[in-house]
């Protein structure tokens, strides 16, 4: 624990408040002493009194709290947490207001919906004693414990481990989750039914895209996948890196691809899978033939990103009786509407060769003022095209720029109807 002298504390508090207000840094530092201090009675009252974080009012709030006799160190720590909680609500919902975070820990934490899906898969297979080898601030630990597992969680960084332990305790999961500050590579795995590993994909505040630079390193990941395990990886993982006999599952939430998970041993059910949350619709690899290729029919479909990443577009085409617009572009088409959870359907109104003037004239004639621009297989920048169109009408259209029979083409569509 390191508590600063009054002078240092005041300086840190003012620096943090100023930096937060000016947006110069996104967060103040989080120290191990902050965890206990923020969980003390005084810390809780202070955090509650800040409530929703308002960056414009940071300095005023900091001054008011300090003037009320709160230690400057605690005020700085509470302001940092208030800001992190604000950012965490999208991932953790109402739980965010009871949790603590570190900036890196929050960036890397699995969102609650995705963690719950994974935990359900693990418990569905009957696995109860789970080792969470790199638990971070505890996103997956919490979901696993809530799903009924007994979780032994390990984390190398002492501050992050303290935060994870505090979060499990705060959410009433102490009896189901125990956090130890330890190196995952040295953990004895005997006695565990399953291992979950979420290696670090950040260093020095930056994202790591190369799996070779994960921490713990890739050989440890590969060794973990030799038993019954689940390893979370970035969705951009090259298919060639997935070890033989391991399932790769790509998961999206509300249409955004969030992660890939590698499932080995008893957890493997297929070789490739796409799961769409929140519906839970899931698609596995079959052995479809090559989908036919034809010009746009009355309906155009944009497969979910998880389906595309999992290379399962042909499976969707086969299930729908659909065709591709181009052999290498992930747009599908049918003449009659075919409902599918795996793609967004657009009703086609017009198809024309790509050229700015005729496109603009057509959209103006249709009183279109709002356009959603989508593209695949075209170098255009959606934002640039939107600006170049200079539209002022009131109707909404979807402009899809792609290739049909090798030619740059625009497919105009009605906006999709929100699901009932």
Ligand X SMILES: C[S@@+](CC[C@H](N)C(=O)[O-])C[C@H]1O[C@@H](n2cnc3c(N)ncnc32)[C@H](O)[C@@H]1O
- Closer CB to ligand X, 13 or 258, in the complex: 258
CB of 33 to ligand X, least distance (A): 19
Q: Verify binding: residue 296, ligand X, rule CB under 6 A.
A: no
82 in Cβ contact with 54 (< 8 Å): no
Closest distance to ligand X from the beta carbon of 407 (Å)? 44
Q: Which stretches does DSSP call E strand in 285-384?
A: 299-303, 323-326, 329-334, 343-353, 368-375
183 binds ligand X (CB under 6 A): yes
- Could you give the angle at the alpha carbon of 301 between the alpha carbons of 297 and 305, nearest 5°? 155
**DSSP bridge pairs for 272:** 248
- Check binding of 136 to ligand X (CB under 6 A): yes
Looking at the Cβ atoms of 70 and 264, the one nearer to ligand X is 264
Angle, helix 58-67 to helix 72-92, in steps of 10 degrees: 140
* Stretch of 105-113, 325-333, 350-358, 400-408 contacting ligand X, by CB under 6 A: 105-113
Per CB under 6 A, 306 contacts ligand X? no
Q: Residue 236 carries which DSSP code? A: T
Q: Is the peptide bond before 192 cis (omega within 30 degrees of 0)?
A: no
Residue 139 interacting with ligand X (CB under 6 A): yes
- Of the candidate residues 11, 200, 270, 284, the single one contacting ligand X (CB under 6 A): 200
80 lies in the binding site for ligand X (CB under 6 A): no
Instruction: Give me the residue whose beta carbon is nearest to ligand X.
Output: 139
**Residue 417: exposed, middle, or buried by beta-carbon count in 10 A (0-12, 13-18, 19+)?**
exposed
Element (H, E) at 407: strand 407-413
154 binds ligand X (CB under 6 A): yes
Residue 152 binds to ligand X (criterion: CB under 6 A): no
Please identify which residue in the block is written with the tokens 């696993």: 144
Min. distance of Cβ 2 from ligand X in angstroms?
20
Nearer to ligand X, 184 or 261 (CB): 184
Q: What is the rounded distance in angstroms from the CA atom of residue 155 to the CA atom of residue 199? A: 10
Using CB under 6 A as the binding rule, whether residue 134 contacts ligand X is answered as: yes
Please pick, from the candidates 110, 224, 282, 333, the single residue that binds ligand X as defined by CB under 6 A: 110
Instruction: Determine, following the binding rule CB under 6 A, whether residue 184 of this chain makes contact with ligand X.
Output: yes
Q: Which stretch binds ligand X (CB under 6 A): 19-27, 131-139, 287-295, 325-333?
A: 131-139
Nearer to ligand X, 183 or 210 (CB): 183
CB of 311 to ligand X, least distance (A): 25
Residues 6 or more apart whose Cβ sits within 8 Å of residue 204: none
**DSSP at 216:** S
Using the rule CB under 6 A, is 137 a contact of ligand X? yes
108 near ligand X, judged by CB under 6 A = yes
Which residues are paired to 306 by β-bridges? none
Task: Give how many residues touch ligand X by CB under 6 A.
Answer: 24
* Shortest Å, Cβ 165 to ligand X: 13
The least CB distance from residue 183 to ligand X, in Å, is 5
- Give helix 58-67 / helix 41-50 axis angle, nearest 10°: 140
Which range, of 7-15, 71-79, 198-206, 326-334, touches ligand X by CB under 6 A?
198-206
Asked if 163 contacts 105 with a C-beta cutoff of 8 angstroms, the reply is: yes
47, burial (CB in 10 Å: exposed 0-12, middle 13-18, buried 19+): buried
Cis peptide before 278 (omega within 30 of 0): yes
> Where do we find the tokens 């810390």?
43
Is residue 215 within the footprint of ligand X (CB under 6 A)? yes
Q: Out of 185, 271, 344, 349, point to the residue binding ligand X (CB under 6 A).
A: 185
DSSP string, 94-138: GGGGG----HHHHHHSPPHHHHHHHHHHHHHTT--EEEESS-TTS
Which listed range, 194-202, 305-313, 338-346, 369-377, lies at the site for ligand X (CB under 6 A)? 194-202
Decide if residue 109 touches ligand X (CB under 6 A).
yes
Query: Which residues are bridge partners to 233 per DSSP?
Result: 260
Please tell me whether residue 155 binds ligand X under the rule CB under 6 A.
Answer: yes
- Which of these segments, 24-32, 36-44, 137-145, 266-274, binds ligand X (CB under 6 A)? 137-145
Closest to ligand X by CB, 140 or 304: 140
169 Cβ contact list (under 8 Å, min separation 6): none
Q: In the complex, which residues of this chain contact ligand X (CB under 6 A)?
A: 105, 108-110, 134-140, 154-157, 160, 183-185, 198, 200-201, 215-216
């Amino acid at each position: 624990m390191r508590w600063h002298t009054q002078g240092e504390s005041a300086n840190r508090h003012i620096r943090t408040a100023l930096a937060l207000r000016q947006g110069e840094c996104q967060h103040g530092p989080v120290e191990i002493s902050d965890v206990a201090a923020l969980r003390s009675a005084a810390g809780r009252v202070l955090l509650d009194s800040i409530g929703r974080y308002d960056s414009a009012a940071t300095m005023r709030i900091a001054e008011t709290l300090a003037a009320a006799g709160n230690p400057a160190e605690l005020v700085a720590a509470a302001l940092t947490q208030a800001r992190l909680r604000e950012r965490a609500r999208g991932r953790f919902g109402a739980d965010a207001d009871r949790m603590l975070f570190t900036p890196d820990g929050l960036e890397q934490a699995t969102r609650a919906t995705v963690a719950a899906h994974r935990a359900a898969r693990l418990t569905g297979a009957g696995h109860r004693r789970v080792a969470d080898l790199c638990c971070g601030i505890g996103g997956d630990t919490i979901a696993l414990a809530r799903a009924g597992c007994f979780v032994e969680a390990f984390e190398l960084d002492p501050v992050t481990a303290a935060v994870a332990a505090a979060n499990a305790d705060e959410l009433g999961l102490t009896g189901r989750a125990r956090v130890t500050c330890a190196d995952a590579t040295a953990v004895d795995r005997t006695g565990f039914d399953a291992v979950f590993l979420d290696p670090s994909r950040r260093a020095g505040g930056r994202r790591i895209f190369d799996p070779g630079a994960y921490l713990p390193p890739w050989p440890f990941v590969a060794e973990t996948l030799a038993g019954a395990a689940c390893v979370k990886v970035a969705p951009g993982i090259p298919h060639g890196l997935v070890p033989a006999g391991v399932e790769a599952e790509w998961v999206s939430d509300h249409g955004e691809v969030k992660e890939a998970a590698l499932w080995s041993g008893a957890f493997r059910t297929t070789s490739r899978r796409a799961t769409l949350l929140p519906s839970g619709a899931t698609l596995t690899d079959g052995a479809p033939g090559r989908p036919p290729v034809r010009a746009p029919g009355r309906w155009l479909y944009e497969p979910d990103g998880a389906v595309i990443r999992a290379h399962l577009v042909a499976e969707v085409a086969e299930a729908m009786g659909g065709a591709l617009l181009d052999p290498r572009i992930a747009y599908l088409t049918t003449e009659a509407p075919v409902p599918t959870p795996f793609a967004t359907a657009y009703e086609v109104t017009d198809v024309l060769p790509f050229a700015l003037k005729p496109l603009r004239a057509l959209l103006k004639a249709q009183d279109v003022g709002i356009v959603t621009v989508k593209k695949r297989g075209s170098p255009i920048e959606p934002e640039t095209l939107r600006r170049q169109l200079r539209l002022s009408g009131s109707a909404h259209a979807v402009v899809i720029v792609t290739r049909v029979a090798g030619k740059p083409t625009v497919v105009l569509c009605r906006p999709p109807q929100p699901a009932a």
